[in-house]
Chain A
Amino acid sequence: MTDFLQLMVAGVSIGAIYAMVAIGFVLLWQTSNTINFAQGEFVVLPAFAMVLFWMTLRLPFALALLATVLVSTLLLGFGVRKLLVARLLQAGVLPLVIATIGLSLLIRYSLQQFWTPLALPFPALFPRAPLRLGAVVLAWEELLNVAFAGAVIGALQLFITRTKLGWAMQAVAQNRTLATVLGIDVGRLITITFVLNAALTAVAAILIAPVYLVKYDIGIGLGLKAFYAAIIGGFNQMRGALLGGLLVGIVETLSAAYVSGPFRDAAVLVILIAVLLWKPEGLWGAKEEWAS
């Protein structure tokens, strides 16, 4: 039982990070119909930037964090929106999908080629000292990860539900044409969503770097997990991505501990396929209108 509790906390801790990546993914889809296949690399690039600012240039932590978020929002938020998305939105969903695939390859192999093919170590952000609650031993790191991710997601939730910009974002997600008619500048909101997403992935990068190490190809797995989380939870709701991320983290951690043999990695996939078959809008998603 104590094992189970400890594993649950570990699962929630990693799941909260997946949830952040998945939420950004879902926000992009909702406001701009962009299926971002480069979402994993959107985490990897800031992780490398953090290594540069914090460990190589030896900036103080807060400054390095700020610089990383700045680089991420400028390059992956603003830059991608202005250079790629602005031109491709008009050509339909597919060219944009292919372009994000190209972007993921470009970031991944540029880092490998021009930086390093090796895994870079990343120091723990939070003390790894154990926290004893009776028989249960938890890591401070895990608890603080959850608190940090929770605070960021909470702030985002407040932004979306309590501010005018947030309401406008919801309006665009629900009906773009109607939002335009209501006088909402859809283009500007898409830009804001891209910047928000880049900030989210930058924070996720800093939280996940001590767990995964920093390597050019960790984006493949991360992107896929965000994708699973979004599909399982629900592609058209922020709460879906949040719960989906947590679920993926918990199931992954539990199955790594309890399931042996070749199907260890399959637990999340079994849930994914079951959801696709019986509830294609996701466990906590809103029902989509039917196509035909």
Chain B
Amino acid sequence: MTDAARPRLRRFLPVGVLVLLALLPLGFEQYKLYVASLTLVYLVMAIGLNLTLGYAGQISLAHGAFMAFGSYGVAILGQRGWPVEVGLAVGAIVAFACGILVGFPALKVKHHFLAMVTLGFNIMVFLVLRNWESLTGGSFGISGIARPRWGLFSFGSDRAYYVYMVGWATLVVGSAYWILTSRWGRAFRAIRENEMRAEALGVSLRNYKLMAFAIGAAYAGIGGALFAPLLGYIDPGAYTLDRSIQFLMMVVMGGLGRFAGPFLGAILVTVLPEVLRASEGLYLVIYALAVILMMLFMPKGLVGIWDWAAGRRDAGAQPPVPAPPGRLRTG
């Protein structure tokens, strides 16, 4: 993504635009502000999954479960009087540890097994959340989750909490940028492009893949931790396999392995249903059609449009699976 020769303006322009975009929703009415807040949660989740899937090429269907660790971390510790930040940290660490536990055996075998192991893991976590009533409140969930408070200053209002979330999202975006430009990011990309070559060059496949998976899981934990106080109420229904599939779609539709991908994907997945809601029950049909058409004509995701508009078709990352020479040319 970075290019030392690129003029300084082009590097800082996107940051400026992002800051403006991030602050714009503060002027929105309540419901639109809520949608914007939700977009931030999804952005954090998508950045994590993009790291796992887009850069390291590992299919994960458990990001809904990793998200649950963050949400329940905040909710359960909150009930016991701990601040949101502690719950967030605990949730992210548990998600990271589970990422290692799930990824370690799965990464021994070919990548589609990781998809299946993570699918099973997500269903298992859902069942535990629903049935461990003394801890998680069972299918009723946990309500009355407080928003963060720093001394006298409370992030209780929707606008203040939005600013709080923008702060965390900035941290996540910044750290992901740092990871991807460090030697780690280069190793991730080397693995995705050609495993055998990367290993021959001295990249430890197993360790880097595992880290890419676990860091992605930790980001999902952070996203979940931000989600719980936003609603003030959580129940297991929010962390099903469907949710994980939704994240997968978000990342692929945004653009795999591209830094801008999660931003576009998160906006698309939250805004599109809102726009289509006017069409009543038809919106799910239209949404499904949009997904299929997008995969057919833009398998590189929305980032592909950007590339096409900027006239740099061949720049940037390739899809995670090395494609044969006769690949479709798409914008």
A98 touches B252 (CB 8 A): yes
Q: Is the interface of B mostly helix, strand, loop or mixed?
A: helix
Number of CB contacts from chain A to chain B under 8 A:
137
**Cα distance A102–B120 in the bound complex, in angstroms:** 21
Does A101 sit within 8 A of B, measured CB to CB? Answer: yes
A109 touches B296 (CB 8 A): no
Does A87 sit within 8 A of B, measured CB to CB? Answer: yes
A94 touches B256 (CB 8 A): yes
Q: Take A101-B249, A112-B281 as given contacts and tell me if A266 and B206 are in contact as well, using a CB distance cutoff of 8 Å.
A: no
Chain A residues in 8 Å Cβ range of B7: none
Does A60 sit within 8 A of B, measured CB to CB? Answer: no
Chain B residues in 8 Å Cβ range of A290: 108-109
**Cα distance A98–B130 in the bound complex, in angstroms:** 28
- Chain B, 286-322, CB within 8 A of any chain A CB: 287-292, 295-296, 299, 319-321
**Cα distance A101–B287 in the bound complex, in angstroms:** 11
Q: Which of B108, B256, B287, B328 contacts A291 (CB 8 A)?
A: B108
Does B116 sit within 8 A of A, measured CB to CB? Answer: yes
- Chain A, 70-114, CB within 8 A of any chain B CB: 84, 87-88, 90-99, 101-103, 105-106, 109-110, 112-113
Does B149 sit within 8 A of A, measured CB to CB? Answer: no
Q: Which of A37, A105, A235, A280 contacts B105 (CB 8 A)?
A: A280
Chain A residues in 8 Å Cβ range of B295: 88, 91, 95-96, 98-99, 102
B288 touches A109 (CB 8 A): yes
- Complex interface bits, B72-106 against A, C-beta within 8 A gives 1, otherwise 0: 00000000000000000000000000000000011
* Chain A, interface residues (CB within 8 Å), range: 35 or more
Residue of B nearest to A265 (CB): B127
Q: Which of B199, B281, B288 contacts A292 (CB 8 A)?
A: B199
Chain B residues in 8 Å Cβ range of A110: 285
**A125: shortest Cβ distance to chain B, in Å?**
31
A231 touches B281 (CB 8 A): no
Q: Which of A93, A105, A277 contacts B284 (CB 8 A)?
A: A105
Residue of B nearest to A103 (CB): B292
Does A159 sit within 8 A of B, measured CB to CB? Answer: no
**A28: shortest Cβ distance to chain B, in Å?**
13
B296 touches A87 (CB 8 A): yes
Chain B residues in 8 Å Cβ range of A102: 249, 288-292, 295
A106 touches B285 (CB 8 A): yes
**Cα distance A108–B121 in the bound complex, in angstroms:** 25
Q: Take A95-B299, A288-B110 as given contacts and tell me if A280 and B117 are in contact as well, using a CB distance cutoff of 8 Å.
A: yes
Chain A residues in 8 Å Cβ range of B256: 94
Residue of A nearest to B283 (CB): A109
**A51: shortest Cβ distance to chain B, in Å?**
20
**Cα distance A280–B319 in the bound complex, in angstroms:** 27
Does A3 sit within 8 A of B, measured CB to CB? Answer: no
B296 touches A90 (CB 8 A): no
- Chain B, 20-79, CB within 8 A of any chain A CB: 53, 59
Q: Which of A35, A91, A263, A280 contacts B323 (CB 8 A)?
A: A91
Does A127 sit within 8 A of B, measured CB to CB? Answer: no
A94 touches B320 (CB 8 A): yes
Chain A residues in 8 Å Cβ range of B115: 35
B124 touches A109 (CB 8 A): no
Residue of B nearest to A272 (CB): B120
Does B16 sit within 8 A of A, measured CB to CB? Answer: no
Does B119 sit within 8 A of A, measured CB to CB? Answer: yes
**A172: shortest Cβ distance to chain B, in Å?**
16
**Cα distance A289–B245 in the bound complex, in angstroms:** 27
Does A63 sit within 8 A of B, measured CB to CB? Answer: no
Given contacts A280-B109, A288-B113, 5 further A-B contacts (CB under 8 A): A90-B326, A91-B327, A113-B281, A288-B109, A291-B110
Interface residues of A (CB under 8 A from B): 35, 37, 84, 87-88, 90-99, 101-103, 105-106, 109-110, 112-113, 227, 231, 235, 262-263, 265-266, 269, 272-273, 276-277, 280-281, 288-292
Q: Can you list 13 A-B pairs, Cβ within 8 angstroms, ordered by A?
A: A84-B292, A88-B299, A90-B326, A94-B321, A95-B295, A99-B291, A102-B291, A273-B121, A276-B120, A280-B117, A291-B107, A291-B110, A292-B195
